[in-house]
Amino acid sequence: MSQRIAITLNVNGTAYRREVEPRLLLTDFLRHEIGLTGTHVGCEHGVCGACTILWDAAPARACLIFAVQAEGHAIHTVEGLAPAPDQLNPLQQAFQDTHALQCGYCTPGILMTMTAFLAENPAPTEHQVRDALSGNLCRCTGYQHIVDAVLLAAERAR
């Protein structure tokens, strides 16, 4: 039962080689094997969205994927968003400008969801934003400022 498998995962463009048990969740790999703790864990059953990452550019729940499955795929996390260490990307900046986060725990997952959403929907309506946001739970903000942030980021990109 102590099967261990050597894997190399590509996260934010960097290759990480580790030997892991097949049951290791991708969330735990990201957070505790390679120290990318920006991806948060809120439920470990695929509902809250805090662990949302990009899997080959599409949003996915990292808590419902085993790390061994991710070999050969491009994984992107919140740590890969900012263009430089002390900067924010336009979506992140819009989040700060509109006060779209409070405790900030759900924020990385929301940023990843919205990154994929805006790539496909550069000029969304408020309802489309809310619909796209509905797979990420936030307990602090009541969502209004998050919606404002996404709409602002879209507007600024035009």
Q: Please list every residue from 131 through 150 that binds other proteins, using CB under 8 A.
A: 131-147
- What is the strand order of the sheet 5-11 is part of? 14-20, 5-11, 74-76, 52-55, 58-61
CA atoms lying within 13 Å on the CB side of residue 90: 13
CA distance 149 to 158: 14
CA distance 51 to 78: 10
Q: Please list every residue from 54 through 93 that binds other proteins, using CB under 8 A.
A: 55, 58-61, 63-66, 68-69, 77-79, 81-82, 86, 88, 92
CA distance 109 to 138: 10
Number of residues that bind other proteins (CB under 8 A): 84
Question: DSSP characters for 29-61?
Answer: IIIIIS--TTS--S-SSSSS-TTEEEETTEEEE
Q: Please list every residue from 17 through 46 that binds other proteins, using CB under 8 A.
A: 21-25, 28, 31-32, 35-46
For other proteins, the binding residue among 6, 104, 119, 125 (CB under 8 A) is 104
Cβ proximity to other proteins: between 99 and 157 the closer is: 99
For other proteins, the binding residue among 6, 8, 14, 96 (CB under 8 A) is 96
Cβ proximity to other proteins: between 9 and 63 the closer is: 63
Q: Is 115 in the site for other proteins (CB under 8 A)?
A: no
Q: Are 42 and 35 in contact (CB under 8 A)?
A: no
Beta carbon of residue 15, minimum distance to other proteins (angstroms, whole number): 19
Beta carbon of residue 117, minimum distance to other proteins (angstroms, whole number): 8
